[in-house]
Amino acid sequence: MITLRAVHKHFGRTQVLNGIDLEIGQGKVVSMLGPNGSGKSTLMKCLLDLVHPSSGEISIGGLPANNVEARKQISYMPQVARFAENISALRLFDFISDLRGEHPDPSWLIQHFALTEHVRKPLGDLSGGTRQKVSAVLAFLFDTPIIVLDEPTVGLDPVSRLKFKDLIMEKKAAGKTIFFTSHIMSDVEEVAEELIFLLEGRVVYQGAPATLLHQTGQENLEHAIAHILKQEEA
């Protein structure tokens, strides 16, 4: 579904992505991990064509990432949901629907995230968590084969977080490819079938979480990752 071939990216002299080769199959739930500055957000921006790779190729469902049509296949949920201060969530859903040229009914998602009493208020008046839920609605509103989520559960209350994970499982069952970053290891452990570990612009691990635990001999992901980082330093 998503393929990266020898993707390099440098900003000036700083090498951010250093030859990324990735293959993410259809229907997979993949989590990308890595410390700050490892190139996670740059890679994600590359998928959305916000950042143009210095070299290498990215294809989304068979189309180059810089093709407008490629983004038709992606739903995206950004990390911080500061969109428009003076517009309501309903109007925002409408707007994004206009941009995509399809108008699915968001009401079930609004109910799912208990947003009913908030969707008519200006976005600027909403709390951070509520805004994050608005953002989540956008991620699941459209029927796209790929869903890209940037730190989706940050700021969500426990109930919403559960509901969010339910949705991911549901989408997975429907055969969607889900690609997300997260700092919250419990979330990753719970939903991710596959891990991608990024370090200094390179993929140092791609595989199932269980395999990683096995390879490092650790009990949970947190420790496994710490182990990898220690190894790298040494």
Partner 1 sequence: MRLTWHIFKFVFLDNLRSIWSLIYALFLALSTYALIYFTGSFTRAIVSIMNIIILVAPLVSSMMMSMYYFNKTDFLHLMLAQPVRRSQVFLGMYLGVSITLTLSVLVGLLLGLLFSLQQIDAILPLITLMVCGGFLSMIFSALALLVSVASKDKLRGIGLTLFVWLFMAVIYDGLILIYFIVFSEYPIEQHAIVLSLLNPIDLSRIFIMLQLDISALLGYSGAVFQKFFGAGQGMLISAVSLVLWVLFPLLIMLRVARKRDL
Residues 6 or more apart whose CB falls under 8 angstroms from that of 7 comprise: 17, 19, 20, 21, 43, 46, 53, 55, 56, 57, 58
Number of residues that bind partner 1 (CB under 8 A): 34
In the block, residue with structure tokens 């707007």: 95
Using CB under 8 A, which of 5, 91, 165, 223 touches partner 1? 91
17-76: contacts with partner 1 (CB under 8 A): 45, 48-52, 68-72, 74, 76
Q: Say whether residue 8 binds partner 1 (CB under 8 A).
A: no
Provide the b/e sequence for 221-231 (b: ≥16 CB within 10 Å): beebbebbeee
CA 143 – CA 119 distance, rounded (Å): 21
Contact 194, 207 (CB under 8 A): yes
DSSP characters over 16-35: EEEEEEEEE-TT-EEEEE--
Q: What six digits make up the tokens of 27? A: 């229907």
Question: Residue 131 or residue 171: which is nearer to partner 1 going by CB?
Answer: 131
Q: How far is the CB of 203 from partner 1 (least distance, A)?
A: 21
Q: Say whether residue 213 binds partner 1 (CB under 8 A).
A: no
Q: For the window 66-85, what string marks contact with partner 1 as x by the rule CB under 8 A?
A: --xxxxx-x-x-xxxxxxxx
Q: Say whether residue 95 binds partner 1 (CB under 8 A).
A: yes
Question: Residue 11 or residue 108: which is nearer to partner 1 going by CB?
Answer: 11
Question: Residue 52 or residue 230: which is nearer to partner 1 going by CB?
Answer: 52
What is the binding site for partner 1 (CB under 8 A)? 11, 45, 48-52, 68-72, 74, 76, 78-87, 91, 95-96, 98-101, 122, 138, 148
